[in-house]
Amino acid sequence: MAISFNQRAVAAQSFGVNASRQRLLTEARVKGTHVLLDRWTLAPGAVIELGLAERDLAWFQLLEGEATLAGAAGSQTLTTDHAAFLPPGFRGTLTAHDDAVVLYAEVPDAARFDPRLAAEPPQLRIVDWTREPVLDSEHDARKRIYVVTPRLFGTKVIKG
């Protein structure tokens, strides 16, 4: 069953420093969902602390703007061309350079969907989706670019 709503109808909550978030997909809105989806609005200089539990994973993409993702492995500037995969236990920050909008998805207790996750946890990965192949749909005239795949992110928990 499809759920349809306008993100403008979802109240924004203060989040981090100079930021707000809208909880678009939640257990309250969609019973039994396995993915939580947020829309973050970041003002210049916004800082978001990222901290995942050891069994969770997350994926995010900048829809507007530019930000720096920093963690134990260093830091990288991200633009709207990037998708970032955060592995279980990831700790870091996302700092906005200018106004930015982020689409953030989290899978709580992701290990229940991939038994290998605990034994072989995937690593932090950042993908420039503009460099991925453009594929023709087998069913209609749409084009597809896969940015979240087992090959790219090392787990079958989430695809997109």
Indicate the residue type of 145: I
Q: Distance between CA atoms of 61 and 127, rounded to whole angstroms?
A: 10
Binning pLDDT at 50, 70 and 90, where does residue 6 land? confident
Domains of the chain: 7-153 (2.60.120.10)
Please give the pLDDT value at position 156. 66
Question: pTM, whole model, 2 decimals?
Answer: 0.85
Higher-confidence position of 35 and 156: 35
Torsion from C-alpha of 15, 89, 61, 23, nearest 10 degrees: -40
> Would you say 85 and 57 are in contact if contact means Cβ atoms under 8 Å apart?
yes
* 119 SS3 class: helix
Q: What is the DSSP letter of 115?
A: T
Give the residue from 59, 91, 65 showing the smallest Cα distance to 78.
65
> Would you say 92 and 69 are in contact if contact means Cβ atoms under 8 Å apart?
yes
Tell me the pLDDT tens digit for each residue of 73-114: 899 999 999 989 999 999 999 999 999 999 999 999 888 888
Give Cα 116 distance to the centre of its chain. 21
Average pLDDT over residues 46-50: 95
Please give the pLDDT value at position 73. 87
Name the CA radius of gyration of the chain, rounded: 16
Give the residue from 15, 31, 1, 35 showing the smallest Cα distance to 110.
35
Tell me the pLDDT tens digit for each residue of 109-147: 888 888 777 778 888 888 887 776 677 777 887 776 666
Average pLDDT over residues 11-29: 91
Q: Distance between CA atoms of 146 and 25, rounded to whole angstroms?
A: 21
Average pLDDT over residues 15-32: 90
Please count the other Cβ atoms lying within 10 Å of the Cβ belonging to residue 10: 17
